[in-house]
């Protein structure tokens, strides 16, 4: 099984992903670690990534997920996965996945939170030197965010305590 903890920058993907990994003994992968330096520099300079920037990054993440799944290792990926097309790339890590069926061992959890809360989190994180993504890129991420209910994405209120979020994911996804 692969669980993708998704959402805009600052939603809590890394925090929740790391906590969930500890609770489940799954591996945790942070998608940010797979961005090439050129992508990180663009974002640091307030330049949104293009499709040409994102696609190879997503394909690399898919390959990493696929390796875990083929070797029967459960994994948690913290990744923005903002658009349906991006999630389809990640779902294709499942060797049995039929495109656009949304029936997959790759599951998605959206950390849902208001833009104002995210902006405050991002500003704090950048001020503390903890991340390369400035709050100025939040608008472009929110514009990209595309959620289709037919995909079966679990939406979790990201203003809840991290422990409650992790317990919710365990109850509804891992069982």
Q: 42-46, 65-69, 94-98, 126-130: which has the minimum mean pLDDT? A: 126-130
Q: Are 27 and 73 in contact (CB under 8 A)?
A: yes
Q: Report the domain count for the chain.
A: 1
What are the pLDDT digits (tens) for 64-95?
Answer: 999 999 999 999 999 999 999 999 999 999 99
d(C-alpha 17, C-alpha 88), whole Å:
20
pLDDT band for position 136 (cuts 50, 70, 90) = low
CATH of the domain at 112: 3.40.50.300
Q: What pLDDT is recorded for position 133? A: 59
d(C-alpha 149, C-alpha 146), whole Å:
10
Helix (H, G, I), strand (E, B) or coil at 78: strand
Q: What is the mean pLDDT of the chain?
A: 91
pLDDT band for position 130 (cuts 50, 70, 90) = low
Residue 175: both structure tokens together? 């069982």
User: Could you tell me the pTM of the whole model?
Assistant: 0.89
What are the pLDDT digits (tens) for 144-159?
Answer: 899 999 999 999 999 9
Domain that holds residue 62: 2-174
d(C-alpha 65, C-alpha 46), whole Å:
29
């Amino acid at each position: 099984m692969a669980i993708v903890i998704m959402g805009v920058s600052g939603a809590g993907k890394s925090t929740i992903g790391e906590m969930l990994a500890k609770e489940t003994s799954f591996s945790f992968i942070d998608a940010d670690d797979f961005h090439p330096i050129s992508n990180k520099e663009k974002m640091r300079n307030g330049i949104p990534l293009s499709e040409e920037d994102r696609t190879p990054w997503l394909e690399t993440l898919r390959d990493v997920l696929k390796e875990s799944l083929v070797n029967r290792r459960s994994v948690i990926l913290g990744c923005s996965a903002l658009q349906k097309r991006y999630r389809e790339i990640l779902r294709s890590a499942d060797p049995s996945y039929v495109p656009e069926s949304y029936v997959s061992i790759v599951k998605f959890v959206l950390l849902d939170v208001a833009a104002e809360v995210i902006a405050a989190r991002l500003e704090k994180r950048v001020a503390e030197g903890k991340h390369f993504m400035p709050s100025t890129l939040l608008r472009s991420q929110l514009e990209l965010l595309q959620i289709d209910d037919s995909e079966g994405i679990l939406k979790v209120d990201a203003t809840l305590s991290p422990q409650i979020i992790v317990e919710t994911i365990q109850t509804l996804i891992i069982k």
